Amino acid sequence: MDLVPEATLTINSRNYGSWSLRGWLMCRFAGLDVHVEVVDSNDPSARDELLLMSPSFLVPRLDIDGLAIWDTLAIGEHLAERLPDAGLLPIDQPARALCRSVSGEMHSGFASLRSAMPMNLKARHHDFKVFTGARADIDRIEEIWARCLDLSGGPFLFGDRPGLADAMYAPVCTRLVTYGVEITPTSTRYVDRVLALDDMRHWAAEAAREPDEIVELDAEF
C-alpha cells in the first residue's frame, strides 16, 4: 500500500532551485512524509495557481493541514513547532538563538555569492574565478560553520543530526563543489558530510534527470 503523504511541497527546479532544496530538506529532516509537486513558474496556468496559494508568488510552498506556508524560514519554523521532537531547532536556548541567527543570515544575506554562483547541481566549473565579493561571503560562511561545529561538537552545525541551519546552508555546500572553491579542511569535511546525506543524494539524482532548460542563468534562483 502506498504511503499517504501528509503534506505537499511545491517547488520549481531540483537542479537550480536553492530555496526549493532548503524547504525540502527541512521537511525531510523534520520527518515529514511530503509529496513534491514541481511547477514551472514560467507556465501561465501554473503561475495563476501559485498566485492563488502563495501571494508572494514564491516557491517553496508547503501545504499542510489546510494551511499554505511559503518562505523557507516560515516553513522551517512551522515544522519545528509541529514536529518538535525531530530536532530541526536545537533544544538549548543559546544554541537555538544562534541557529536562528545564522539561518536568518543565510536567508537575507550573501547576495554576492548567490548572484555570482547560482546553484546548478549538474554543472562543474573548473578554474572558476571567485570575485572578491563572493569570496568575502564564503569567508563569513566558513566562519559561521567553524563556530557552530566547534560549539556543538558536530558533525552537523548543531549536533548529531541535520537541522534547520544545515538545510539553509546545503545549497552553499553544492555551490562550493560546482565552482571548485578552495575552502578550509573543516569546511571540506562539513560539505562532504552534507553531500553524503541520503536526502542530498536522492535530490541530486532527481536533479540529474531534469532537462537542461536553462542555459545561462543570470538571476538568483
Ligand X SMILES: N[C@@H](CCC(=O)N[C@@H](CS)C(=O)NCC(=O)O)C(=O)O
CA distances from 50 to 7, 19, 53, 188 (A): 16, 16, 5, 38
Q: Does 204 bind ligand X (CB under 6 A)?
A: no
**Contact pick of 10, 19, 169, 172 for ligand X (by CB under 6 A):** 19
Q: How far is the CB of 72 from ligand X (least distance, A)?
A: 3
DSSP letter string, 61-102:
EEEETTEEEESHHHHHHHHHHHSGGG-SS-SSHHHHHHHHHH
Q: Which is nearer to ligand X, 61 or 183 (CB)?
A: 61
Nearer to ligand X, 15 or 152 (CB): 15
Contact status: 203 vs ligand X (CB under 6 A): no
CB of 61 to ligand X, least distance (A): 8
The Cα angle at residue 138 between residues 134 and 139, in degrees rounded to 5? 115
Query: Which CB, 73 or 191, lies closer to ligand X?
Result: 73
Our finding on whether 41 is near ligand X (CB under 6 A) is yes
Q: Which residue lies nearest ligand X, judged by its C-beta?
A: 72
The answer to the question of residue 103 lying near ligand X (CB under 6 A) is no
Applying CB under 6 A, the site for ligand X has a residue count of 13
Q: Is 17 in the site for ligand X (CB under 6 A)?
A: yes
Which is it for strands 34-38 and 7-11: parallel, antiparallel or unpaired?
Answer: parallel
- Pick the binder of ligand X from 26, 27, 64, 72 (CB under 6 A): 72
DSSP 34: E
Other C-beta atoms within 10 Å of 57: how many? Answer: 13
d(CA 167, CA 176): 15
Name the helix (H) or strand (E) containing 5. none
115 lines the binding site for ligand X (CB under 6 A) = no
